[in-house]
A and B are shown apart, each in its own frame.
Chain A
Amino acid sequence: MSAPLLELREITVSFDGFLALRDLNLSLQPGELRAVIGPNGAGKTTFLDVITGKTAPTEGDVLFQGRSLVGRAEHRIARLGIGRKFQSPRVFEKLSVQENLALAVSRPKQPWPLLFGRLGGQERERVHHLMGIVNLQSRADWEAGALSHGQKQWLEIAMLVGQDPDLLLVDEPVAGLTDEETDLTADLLKSLAGDHTVLVIEHDMEFIRRLESPVTVLHQGHVLCEGTMDQVQADPRVIEVYLGTSEEEQS
């Protein structure tokens, strides 16, 4: 087994005494596609915040390609090759589809080259290629704010791919999408795995099943179990967590 691309070691995050994550261990192999599920409040988003530098862990360490990410600023972590798609689509609404993607593919991301340089031919080609993948060519000059919800989701995924990260963190990519769009998104993510490592957080079980990937179940800030979708769904602990026992009503 090769060295893991991403490794979380005994991560604990405490918000004023509330433990959002407790002794969380997780590792991802290069090229892997992994799904993370868990009831509301299980710490899924905090888990992404820790990796991307938005939240500092109270204890523990995050290693990416052998380097610790703890204490690095968000933009530096992003430049190391970690891209993130947010739960609700966050695109730059006053910029056009093309401009959104141009920012994502821009390299370097320093002020001076952006001020004096123009978008290179290669970068422009990439923008067109990405618009093709997510079917937004005809909307190239639209303000992103005018897109439908599904189109925004896709634009954000395209921006993420445009950053060309080694690790893609995708938070609820199919929330609010039609069935057809959901299927297309699953295919897109599957095609990205291999070249990239993809970690998907989702509630939609059918979608996770389509990904045909190993599943990690989070509950109350730590890993409850890992396995294939069928194994996980058959696990009595998972059923208990999802369906709820007497005192733990989870939606």
Chain B
Amino acid sequence: MFQRFQQSRWPQLLVWVLIIAAIVAAPAVLPVFRLNLLGRFLSLAIVALGIDLIWGFTGLLSLGQGIFFALGGYAAAMYLQLNSSSGFPNGIPEFFGLYGVKQLPAFWQPFHSPLFTLVAIWLIPAVLAAVLGNLVFRNRIKGVYFSILTQAALLVFFNFFNGQQKLINGTNGLKTDVTQLFGQMVGSPEMQRGFFWFTALMVIAAWVFVRWVVRGRFGDVLIAIRDDEPRLRFAGFNPTLFKTIVFAIAGGLAGIGGALYTVQSGIVSPQYMTVPFSIEMVIWVAVGGRGTLVGAILGAVAINYAKSLVSEAMPQSWLFIQGGLFILVVTALPEGVIGWWRSDGPRNLLTRLGITRRIGTYPQLELDGQEEVQP
């Protein structure tokens, strides 16, 4: 009975109905502060979808997604700052005055345009990811070496952004909550509610997009790269191209997530490019379930919500809980929570606890039998 339930499409549908119901109901039931947090976590879910695409499906463990996340955030923040700087000296963002900068740096200029900014938010991170990725992939750098390189790149970007006061306000970052958009303050409750809805829509759009990418033969090639890349070469495929494309997609998704996160948290700063934050992103996907897109979304939202709740109650304990979660996933749930569910985890647990009976044969055989009985 339970097994039927598990094998059918109902649980998946149920999860989606619950997710959508929660999103629709959230603005009505959650206080403004909580709603804002949920919106932020949903934007992190977009980043997690990208990580799932490159790690869960293609086997590329990137510890540097913070680069692309922050770049998207900076692009959005630069536009907002420019959009609200007419009242300041020289008509440029206020912080420049602190460092005696009188003229807007050239690379800021295009961010006057909202259209350019909307494209830059995902295109700049995607192009950067494609270039960095291609350099690494064409030299056949794989596995842990790839991870280390991405982390090193992250540190380079962190240090650069941290030190450039005159260009992008260095370690202070760029504030967005007191800037203007559509004649309203970005940090106002109405605007934040709008961002929440927009983020929720973007999560669903990102899910549909990534699902489209991983279905079909393109997705099969990704799985083949993950499982046996050399073999794939002998079948006539060039893994470098495929890896570059998905790494760029993941970079673009991280950029979109970073922009949405920035406008909802009110600031973008080099803190978005710290090493622990990028590792946390990977943990969300690992806990939710690598290779399951719903798992990436749920992992990002659930872990971050737990983090904020736990941190409010017991500020010191979150890091221990997060570490424990990671150990639990690595030792007991290598497929993550959703993967565990799909691979008969719940029934095995019930069997182990003596609640359901053991099955006499391989599950596969028993299932085959059932299928044959059905008309």
Contacts and interface: CB of A to CB of B under 8 A. Distances in A.
B242 A103 contact: no
A102 B241 contact: no
- Which of the listed residues B221, B228, B235 has the most CB atoms from chain A within 10 Å of its own CB? B235
B242 A111 contact: yes
Contacts of B228: 90, 92
Given A99-B220, A103-B217, A114-B221, A94 B227 contact: yes
Contact of A75 (B216, B223, B227, B233): B233
Nearest to A96: B220
Nearest to A106: B217
B7 to A, nearest CB: 14
Interface residues of B, number: 25
A129 interface: no
A74 B227 CA distance: 18
Contacts of A79: 236
Contacts of A84: 234
A75 B218 contact: no
Contact of A114 (B216, B223, B231, B234): B216
B364 interface: yes
Interface in B198-250: 213, 216-218, 220-221, 223-224, 226-228, 230-239, 241-242, 245
A159 interface: yes
Nearest to A108: B236
A92 B227 CA distance: 7
Contact of A74 (B220, B221, B233, B241): B233
Given A74-B234, A109-B236, A146-B364, A119 B217 contact: yes
Contact of A73 (B216, B233, B235): B233
A216 interface: no
Given A92-B223, A94-B227, A75 B237 contact: yes
Contacts of B241: 110-111
Interface in A82-96: 83-84, 86, 90, 92-95
Contacts of A146: 364
- Which of the listed residues B223, B232, B234, B242 has the most CB atoms from chain A within 10 Å of its own CB? B234
A73 B223 contact: no
A199 interface: no
B234 A78 contact: yes
Interface string B122-152: 0000000000000000000000000000000
Contacts of B218: 111, 114-115
Contacts of A75: 233-239
A162 B17 CA distance: 42
A86 B233 CA distance: 13
Interface in A59-82: 73-75, 78-79
A185 interface: no
B220 A104 contact: no
A182 interface: no
Contact of B217 (A52, A73, A90, A114): A114
A163 interface: yes
A146 B232 CA distance: 20
Given A111-B241, A114-B216, A95 B235 contact: no
Interface string A131-142: 000000000000
A74 B233 CA distance: 6
B364 A93 contact: no
Contacts of A54: 230
A187 B242 CA distance: 37
B293 to A, nearest CB: 16
A28 to B, nearest CB: 18
Contacts of B237: 75, 103, 109
B233 to A, nearest CB: 4
B60 to A, nearest CB: 15
A142 to B, nearest CB: 9
Nearest to B138: A73
A78 B231 CA distance: 11
Contacts of B226: 94
A138 to B, nearest CB: 11
B364 A78 contact: no
Contacts of B216: 114-115, 118
Contact of A83 (B230, B234, B239, B364): B234
Contacts of A94: 223, 226-227
B220 A115 contact: no
Contacts of B220: 92, 95, 99, 102-103
Top 8 nearest A-B pairs (CB, nearest first) are: A78-B236, A74-B233, A115-B218, A114-B218, A92-B224, A90-B231, A75-B238, A79-B236
13 contacts: A52-B234, A74-B230, A74-B234, A78-B233, A78-B236, A84-B234, A93-B227, A94-B227, A95-B220, A99-B220, A109-B235, A114-B216, A114-B217
